[in-house]
Amino acid sequence: MSQSTRRTRPEMIGEAIKEYIARHGLGPGDRLPQESHLVEALDASKGTIREALRGLAAQGLIQTRTGPGGGAFICEVSDDRAMELLSNYFFFRPPTIHDIYEVRKQLQPVMVASLEGQLDESAFERLEAMLTHYDHPPASQEEEQAQRLKELEFHLVLVDYCPNPLLALNCRFMIRLLMSLTTCRRIYAQPYPELRQRGYHYQRRLLEALRRNAMDEAREIMAEHMQAAQALMEAREATLDKAFFRAGAGDDETPSREYLALRDYSAHPVMDAVDTTAPPTG
């Protein structure tokens, strides 16, 4: 075993504690044995046990409480915590928009197909409520950004009903990446009415198919949605990159029309008209 993969004594003790939790069927809220018991059972020093518990706490698996009735208690790792840990993995090598949508194109249609029989009326009410946030042109650039995030949250609501926890985790992570990726934030910070229009159009069709329990149709709609979203996002990424580099050129070079249009919109946003009955193009 290489030096980089060799586990420390506290890490080994941490794994032993996790095995103890699994073997005894313990769950969130249950209390671990007292420190003295762990020291004796695991043949480890107090310092090693405490370091192991700190490691498990950092992973979000346990929580320590002080005072009367205190100790180490098992926690369920929250979605936010799981997303944070996964994001740290990609901190120095963030995926591109292309990377994310190549995965989403594979996973999202499968996730939608898994929803058969999972959506009750309260689920449809949640999804309908999300659509109301972006079924109209925005009154400002700030609202347009908020609408884009709500459009992504629509997908998060869908994932909440996915019965496959591994599929749900991967879909949720892709969506969270789109919400936080620097490149995506640049795109959301600029006017892009077509992105909202297309998103609303596909999601309305998807919701209608799901209500009819037409799962094959729903899967096809989601596949089309992901393909169209990828094309729009990559096209806007290329436009913004082009505008950025031209704007940064010397004084003897005129900024691109794209850059000027985006700059002028930021100063004087123009509302767009929406035809939600028109089929998507591209």
CB atoms within 10 A of CB 18: 16
Amino acid at the residue 95: P
pLDDT above 70: percentage of residues in the chain: 84
Res 281 pLDDT > 70: no
Do 96 and 174 contact (CB within 8 A), yes or no? no
Strand ranges, E, within the chain: 62-65, 71-74
Mean pLDDT, residues 204-230: 97
Q: DSSP characters for 131-160?
A: HTTSSS--SSHHHHHHHHHHHHHHHHHHHH
Which residues share a beta bridge with 63? 73
Mean pLDDT, residues 70-84: 82
Per-residue confidence (pLDDT) for residue 277, from 0 to 100: 42
Per-residue confidence (pLDDT) for residue 182, from 0 to 100: 87
Mean pLDDT, residues 7-20: 90
> Distance (Å, rounded) from C-alpha 75 to C-alpha 57?
9
Res 212 pLDDT > 50: yes
Mean pLDDT, residues 14-25: 89
pLDDT in tens, 222-273: 999 999 999 999 999 988 877 655 555 554 445 555 545 555 554 444 444 4
* 272 vs 99, higher pLDDT: 99
Res 38 pLDDT > 80: yes
For the chain, what is the mean pLDDT?
85
Do 197 and 274 contact (CB within 8 A), yes or no? yes
Q: Which domains does the chain have, with CATH numbers?
A: 9-74 (1.10.10.10), 80-267 (1.20.120.530)
Per-residue confidence (pLDDT) for residue 140, from 0 to 100: 92
Per-residue confidence (pLDDT) for residue 270, from 0 to 100: 44
Largest CA distance in the chain: 77
* 84 vs 192, higher pLDDT: 192
Q: Which two tokens stand for residue 201?
A: 């159009």
